[in-house]
Amino acid sequence: MRAVSLHHDVLVVTSSLLQLNCVIVRGEIGGTGTTEEPGGGGGEQGARERLGETFLIDSPVLPEELDTLPALIEQAGFPVPSGLLVTHGDWDHLLGRLAFPGVALGAAESTLARLRASPGQAQRELRDFDEELMIDRPHPLSLGSVQALPVPGRCDLGDRELHLHAAEGHTSDGMAIVIPWARVLIAGDYLSAVEIPTLNDSGDIESYLATLERLRTLITQVERVVPGHGPVLAAADATELLDEDVSYIRSVRDRPQETDLPSGRRSKQQRALHAANLATL
């Protein structure tokens, strides 16, 4: 697992498996940020004002990575997360509850609808994944109650706000998240430099294209883009990748048997994903 700071309020943790990215973001409380104001008080409340409030967005994969998260967050000087957010309902993004079982889980209304429509699916897919790789987890995944977030909309984080935007197409659900003060976009399973665009069973080509155009606008507002899988991108690189993904998706829609995979994403695994995309048509 690798941890990188994008901003003094934003850490990106990348799992050793699937290059899955988890984002840890802190927002100020009481306008004090990381410095206590004179007369601000001491003790636990004063420390909370100095540290702000933290959310964990998506998750790493391996049990030891999840076990490490609390210590990593503490070493970074962030408070214990008070909320977990997920960009969409794929099982590999839902594992934050294994690290922080008592913390509330927030998701787009579309994700909540997906989870309710297929109860236990994420847990079954996680179990199948673990059995295939012989991964032993000390506890089963329990999502508990999931709080629906209005998308598009905003979500309070301390005295800051995260901006939430619809991001369907890869699946039937999802949201992208902008951290405006840090100029960071969390894109979910879009804009990956290591994986072609993929349409899950519930995915949709037209929705995917609409999400990419929505992300194009959001990229102009940020400096860094964090995809669900793969390296963090500078805004200019994310725009270039987006153009490649638009061309690929349009080709799958209009000329499926003539589609070329994007440059740099033509491995055996990517060809298998491409075949799965064609099977959804």
Percent of the chain whose predicted confidence (pLDDT) is above 70:
93
Mean pLDDT of 168-173: 96
Peptide bond connecting 152 to the previous residue in cis, omega within 30 degrees of 0: yes
Q: What is the rounded average pLDDT of the residues 73-86?
A: 96
Do 205 and 256 contact (CB within 8 A), yes or no? no
Q: What is the pLDDT of residue 201?
A: 79
Contacts of 266 (CB under 8 A, 6+ apart): none
Q: What tens digit of pLDDT does each residue of 184-219 get? A: 999 999 999 999 999 987 889 999 999 999 999 999
Question: In the chain, what are the domains?
Answer: 2-279 (3.60.15.10)
Which H or E run contains 97? helix 96-99
Rounded mean pLDDT, 247-270:
95
Contacts of residues 214-220 at CB distance under 8 Å and 24 or more positions apart, as own/partner, are: 214/165, 214/166, 214/167, 214/176, 215/167, 215/176, 215/185, 215/187, 215/190, 215/191, 215/242, 216/242, 218/165, 218/176, 218/178, 218/185, 219/185
Question: CA angle at residue 144 from 27 to 20, to 5 degrees?
Answer: 60
User: If residue 160 lies in a helix (H) or strand (E), which one and from where to where?
Assistant: strand 160-166
The pLDDT of residue 281 is 87
Q: What is the mean pLDDT of residues 69-79?
A: 96
Distance CA 89, CA 101 (A): 17
Query: Quick check: 252 and 169 in contact, CB under 8 A?
Result: no
Q: How far apart are CA 27 and CA 25, in angstroms?
A: 7
224-237 b/e with 16+ CB inside 10 Å = b?
bbbbbbbbbbebeb
* Per-residue confidence band for 42, with pLDDT thresholds at 50, 70 and 90: very low
Confidence of residue 51 (pLDDT cuts 50, 70, 90): low
Neighbour-count burial of 209, counting CB atoms closer than 10 A to its CB (0-12 exposed, 13-18 middle, 19+ buried): middle
Helix (H) or strand (E) holding 226: strand 224-227
Query: What pLDDT digit, counting tens, does each position of 94-141 carry?
Result: 999 999 999 999 999 999 999 999 999 999 999 999 999 999 999 999
Q: With bands split at pLDDT 50, 70 and 90, how would you rate the model's confidence at 46?
A: very low
- Three-state SS for 69? helix
- The predicted model gives 216-236 an average pLDDT of 98
pTM for the model = 0.91
DSSP, res 256:
G
pLDDT for res 31:
55
Higher pLDDT: 30 or 183? It is: 183
